[in-house]
Structure 1
Amino acid sequence: MISTLYFLALLSSTMAQGRVSLWSERSAKNETGGGSGDRCTCDAFLPSSIFPIKDLVVVEQTAGEISHKLELEMGKLDDYETKLTAYAEKIIKLTAEIEKMEKNPDAYNDADFDEIKVEIKQAEALIKELQLSIKGSTTVFKSLRVQIRVMVTTLTRLEKTYDKNLVLVTRREYIKVQLQLEECERRHQELFNPNIGSCAHTGIIKVSKPIVSQLNAHLTPGYIYGGWGKDSKPVPDRESMYWYSGYSSGSIVDIRFYTNYKNLILRNHFQHHNLHSSWTGTGNNFIIRDNTLYYQINTPFGLAKLNFTTMGYESRVIARASARFSYTNSPNQNFDFAADETGLWVTYATEESGGRLVIAKINEPSFGVEEEWQTSVYKPGVSNAFMVCGVLYAVRTIDIQTEEIFYKYDTKTKQESYISVPFERFRDKYSNLDYNPTDQKLYMYNDGYYVNYHLWFNHTAKATVEPPTLLI
């Protein structure tokens, strides 16, 4: 027998595909000889494409499992926070006691020294235990990300192939666990990365696995050009805002704003700005800073800014900038805007530099160039670039799955160096890569998908991402 749920899925699938009828009625003579009357029969025509209800059941079960795991991780985060406070107090007391001993060692005997060594060993053991727990939570987050990625792939396939109404409830479950994971990771980031906004580090040492949100707001893989992210200097009450702009060609004609991550996923924008025809931009190099869009224009060839608070528009020409040099996989990306902890930047190449990248610091009120730095890296050999704490990081393609941060230039010291920090792409090509100082993440628009990465830095300040290790 066909279950009710299965039959409703079958009915919806067939109607969605435009079939004329599921039923055919006919009359026939009783051929068994057991009766004299006619009998009425009806045939059910089962379509060749049957709604895979089992897939939905699996997704729903997975959503429940993920939600349960996330509740456990949230509880662990509360425990981590309590332990960190207690450990910090213990270390402070130990430090004060050791300083007293160093100043007046004759006032203490061997038993006192042995006792303090035991306390140090105990604190060291507690910190190592906490480090293992934190690493365990990070592993869980990575595993849940993989499960959610499989879920969204399944739901997207079902939505495209079958009646979307049948998938709606399950997609809501997916969104629920996705938001739970985002909140859990946010708390994890805040708890163990107190250095957001700080430049007390010597640079990037690691990039996370790609964190894939979903396909763009148009739900079409054809929109491979564009960008997404957060405001790098948000105005009050817009700290949680996201933006997106995507196209099937390398142009920028409109932009959408979302109040928070949930509405980005649900594709519920609260503002949609269409750029005036004379303000249309090009390339995939735009960013949002202080509720202002910074982007490239071709008529005249130069820089443009559009303030969405005042709807004021400005443009500037950099006479030496060349339109001949762009990134490897991104045509017309001649000017690349970037924002970091120190302000607003733009990079480009000139004929005089032979196509090598030039870094320029932008004065935001005047929209003029304050200072320039010449690098030795050839722009057409670069996939993309971004700024962190006044340092340019250039990225190149290693193979079909791997990018590498291979070069950096420090504008404070005017020193450049070659490094190797590989990271994984979600899909083959990407058109936009930018750093955001408000959460220390990289935001990538990867073949139509929203993708982001966590960054790890080599911190030089006392505040560190991981608890310190005590040594005797």
Structure 2
Amino acid sequence: MSQSNMFILMVIIPLILSQSVRGKDCVCELQSSDPAFPENKLLNVEFTVSQCNGNITSEKMTEIDSLVLGLQQRIWQLLDNVSMLEKEDNGNLYAAVSLRIIELELVEIQDLLNKLNRTTNKYQLLSEQTSAELQDMEDTMEELEKFDHTQVMLKQRENQRIKRDLERCKDVLNSTKPAPTLSPGHCGLGRMVSVSGPRTYSLTVYGTSYPYGAWGRDANPTPGDENKYWLVVLSSSIVHGNFIRQYGTLSTLILGIGPTDTYISSSNPTTNTIQGPNMVMYGNALYYNCYNTYSVCQFNMTTRSVSTVALPNDAGYNNKFPFAHLGTTYIYTDMDFATDVSGVYVIYASTSNFGNVVISKVETSDPPVLSQTWSTSLHKKTVTNTFMVCGVLYATRYLDKEIEEIFYTYDTKTNEERYDLRIHIKKMQPNIKYMNYNPRDHLLYVYSDAYIVTYETMFQEVQ
């Protein structure tokens, strides 16, 4: 047989060859010397991973934190009550009613302890099971990797490492100058450098059916109300609300215990009811967008009276200039309200400013009045939220389902604007419908797809 008629057979796995000639045909039988790939083991690993994803969720991971926080708040509340009773004691005798209150608080604390113990034991068992399953999966994958004769997996891991290194280099190249330093004239915090958390993360008692709402603490509380928290959930077409729910402590809010409801009106929607999720509490009054108008409403929680002040008649309302991103619009967020050490601000957009953000200071008199106003170049529909810190407006935008970014500032003292901040906020839910800074505890209070969340703001001290 000449060289041109020879058959050359090349294979990448060990083979046992046999030939038989039938006339002019050449028949080759190929048999692999390697064992068959154990596909069932790979399917078992995939099934175990699916089960782990279903058993371990972000809600479960934060459940213990919520219980511990609630227990801590209840214990501090009990200590305060006992201390108050000791000061009011007359003749070493406590009133029966006061003792009954303490008894009920102890029962609630014991219930929380029992629930915490049950939850801890359940999670400990889950952790042990998950650890064993992870070890089994790791052993199985190491066994399966022996079948990777061409080292595809090895090359993939190397590629992933190179990509991570490239991303780190990119972050260094894209690093920007720091956020503006807040001088002592502003309030002496220094510059904002990061946002950490979440510190609190809990579903409200209303459940996931109500994705729009707001909550927080009074930025300037009246004596005796320092520990109170308020919550407003837009329960009418996820647009309107007509009452404010208050809780004595953060733990009672998380657990839904003992709320007090204060009604603005008897029905929804009607004159003076709340429109949109953006509102703040300051000086025992709620500030919000009045129903179907371009006015700011001030609802006095004590007298239950409403006072109003109108924005310029070209200000956006009724969903004309809402917060938004490429994926969605946050309906009826035309007006945002913010608090800082100096009081209350309203953030909105107007046609005369081409749909760009306008900031107005709201004097908290009765009735309220608008004082100084600042116009910015920030288009409102490119923003998802705003808040104020020491006279500086911060704006956020949606990056993806996991990250919100503070990207913009406007300093009302110097009129300086910046678009190059890159402060990231780790989200627990895809959409943040409400965000406000509280100067009392330096926390961001967030309402995110029916969940209440807090984040801690970090500042670099002024040298």
Give the TM-score band, short-chain normalised: 0.5 to 0.7
In the TM superposition, residue 146 of structure 1 has moved relative to its aligned partner by 8.0
Conserved? CA contact 2:272–2:291, under 8 Å? no
Corresponding residue number in structure 2 for 1:453: 455
Q: State the partner residue of 1:442.
A: 444
> Separation in 1 of the partners of 2:276 and 2:460?
33
Question: What is the letter of the counterpart of residue 215 of structure 1?
Answer: L
Matched, 1:345 2:348: no
Contact 2:200/2:455 (<8 A) preserved: no
1:285 matched to which residue of 2? 278
| Contact 2:348–2:357 (Cα < 8 Å) also in 1 | yes
Q: Contact 2:282–2:343 at 8 Å: present in 1 too?
A: no
Residue identity opposite 2:374 in structure 1: W
Structure 1 residues 147 and 257: CA distance shift in structure 2, 3 A: closer
Give the aligned partner of residue 257 of structure 2: 268
1:206 counterpart letter in structure 2: S
| CA shift for structure 1 position 268 | 2.0
In the alignment, the residues of structure 1 paired with residue 446 and residue 431 of structure 2 have an alpha-carbon distance, to the nearest angstrom, of 10
Which residue of 2 is the match for residue 312 of structure 1? 305
Measure, in 2, the Cα distance between the counterparts of 1:150 and 1:241.
19
- Decide whether the 8 Å contact of 1:212 with 1:426 is kept in 2: no
Q: Is the 8 A contact 2:234 2:277 kept in 1?
A: no
2:296 is the alignment partner of 1:303:
yes
Native 8 Å contact 2:253 2:259 kept in 1: no
Alignment-derived partner of residue 65 in structure 2 = 148
Q: Contact conserved, 1:243 with 1:256, CA < 8 A, in 2?
A: yes
> Secondary structure of 1:296's partner?
strand
Between 1:393-402 and 1:240-249, the stretch displaced more is 240-249
Secondary structure of the equivalent of 1:170? helix
More helix, by proportion: 1
Partner of 2:387: 386
Is the CA contact (8 Å cut-off) linking 2:347 and 2:360 kept in structure 1? yes
SS in 2 for 1:278: coil
The equivalent of 1:357 in structure 2 is 357
- What is the CA-CA distance between 1:278 and the residue it aligns to? 2.5
State the SS of the aligned residue for 2:271. helix
The correspondence of residues 316-331 of structure 1 with structure 2, limited to 5 A, is 316-318=309-311, 319-323=313-317, 324-328=320-324, 329-331=329-331
Structure 2 partner of 1:156: none
Describe how 1:190-269 pairs up with structure 2 within 5 A: 199-218=187-206, 220-248=207-235, 249-269=238-258
CA contact (8 A) 2:245 2:261 kept: yes
Query: Aligned equivalents of 1:250 and 1:260: distance in 2?
Result: 27
Contact 2:264 2:304 in 1 (8 A): no
User: What's the CA shift for 1:426?
Assistant: 0.6
Write the deviation string for residues 146-185 of structure 1: whole angstroms up to 9, x where unpaired.
8537999xxxxxxxxxxxxxx994268769xxxxxxxxxx
CA distance in 2: counterparts of 1:284 and 1:265, whole angstroms:
19
Closer, same or farther: CA 349–299 of 1 in aligned 2, 3 Å? same
Q: Deviations over 1:30-49 (max 9, x none)?
A: xxxxxxxxxxxxxxxxxxxx
* SS of structure 2 residue aligned to 1:442: strand
Shift of 1:281: 1.6
Q: Which amino acid aligns with 1:259?
A: G
Indicate conservation of the 8 Å contact 2:186/2:391, yes or no.
no
Task: Point out the more displaced range, 297-306 or 371-380.
Answer: 297-306
Structure 1 residue ranges without an equivalent (≥5)? 1-143, 153-166, 176-194, 462-472
Name the counterpart of 1:170: 115
Name which one, 1 or 2, has greater alpha-carbon Rg.
Answer: 2
- Matched residue pairs, number? 285
Q: Deviations over 1:83-140 (max 9, x none)?
A: xxxxxxxxxxxxxxxxxxxxxxxxxxxxxxxxxxxxxxxxxxxxxxxxxxxxxxxxxx
Aligned counterparts of 2:282 and 2:118: Cα–Cα separation in 1? 33
TM-score normalized with structure 2 length: 0.57
**1:173–1:199 CA distance, 2 compared to 1 (3 A):** farther
- Indicate how the Cα distance of structure 1 residues 198 and 438 shifts in structure 2: closer, same or farther if over 3 A, else same: farther
The aligned counterpart of 1:137 is: none
- Cα deviation code 1:263-282 (max 9, x no counterpart): 11221244201221422121
State the alpha-carbon separation in 1 of the partners of residues 64 and 245 from structure 2.
Answer: 29
| Aligned partners of 1:252 and 1:282 also within 8 Å | yes
Q: Which moved more, 1:204-213 or 1:387-396?
A: 204-213
d(CA) in 1 for partners of 2:304, 2:223: 18
Maintained 8 Å contact 2:284/2:301: yes
TM-aligned CA distance change 1:266 to 1:361, over 3 Å: same
Distance in 1, matches of 2:119 and 2:452, equals 16
- Contact 1:407–1:417 (8 Å) recurs in 2: yes
Q: Percent identity?
A: 32
Judged with a 3 Å threshold, the aligned counterparts in structure 2 of structure 1 residues 278 and 168 are, in CA distance, closer, same or farther, namely farther
Q: Which residue of 1 aligns with 2:402?
A: 401
Summarize the Cα distance change of 1:309–1:211 in structure 2 as closer, same or farther, 3 Å threshold: same
Match of 2:376 in 1: 375
Whether the 8 Å contact between 1:228 and 1:443 is mirrored in structure 2 is yes
Q: Structure 2 unaligned runs (5+)?
A: 1-60, 70-111, 121-182
